[in-house]
Amino acid sequence: MSVNTEQVRHIAKLARIAMSDAEIEALVPELNAIIGWVEQLAEVNTDGVEPLTAVIDQQLRLRDDHVTDGECRDAVLANAPAAEHGFFAVPKVIE
């Protein structure tokens, strides 16, 4: 499979990265080179092979369901580019 300009533009939109037409054009052959290379996996017979989900076998732990954290609003907001009235501030979404 390979990607064209329109598909790369769509991937950039999904990835939320603004790109100029020139950047998109430059990425098409780069991505196709990488995609063409990883496609050699198609020649590996994986019939009946389970996808690996945990690299070291172990059970996911459960913990008691009680509050262990919180009361640190100022620390949470300290690095925000914009914070107002104790909240993260973003550009207006709904008119």
Partner 1 sequence: MSLTAKTIAELREGMSAGEFTAREVAEAFNAAVAGAGALNAFTVETPDEALTAADAADAARGKGEAGSLAGIPLGIKDLFATEGVATTAGSRILTGFKPPYESTVSANLRTAGAGMLGKLNMDEFAMGSSNETSAYGPVISPWKRNDGGNAALTPGGSSGGSAAAVAAGIAPGATGTDTGGSIRQPAAFTGICGIKPTYGRASRWGIVSFASSLDQAGSMARTVRDCAILLEAMAGFDPKDSTSLDLPVPQWEAGLSSDLKGKRVGIPAEYRIDGVPSDIDALWDHGVEWLRDAGAEPVKISLPHTQYALPTYYIIAPAEASSNLARYDGVRYGLRVDGDGGLDGMYAATRAAGFGAEVKRRIMIGTYVLSAGFYDAYFTKAQRVRTLIKQDFRKAFESCDLILTPTAPSAAFGLGEKTDPLAMYLNDVFAVPASLAGLPAMSVPGGLDGQGLPLGLHLIGRELDEQGVLNAALAIEERAGFTHRPEKWW
| Residue of the chain from 40, 64, 67, 70 that contacts partner 1 (CB under 8 A) | 40
19, 12 Cβ separation under 8 angstroms: yes
| Residue of the chain from 22, 37, 67, 85 that contacts partner 1 (CB under 8 A) | 37
Residue 85 touches partner 1, criterion: CB under 8 A: no
37, 46 Cβ separation under 8 angstroms: no
Residues within the interface to partner 1 (CB under 8 A):
1, 3, 8, 11-19, 27, 30-31, 33-35, 37-42, 44, 46, 49-56, 58, 60-61, 63, 72, 75-76, 78-82, 88, 90-93
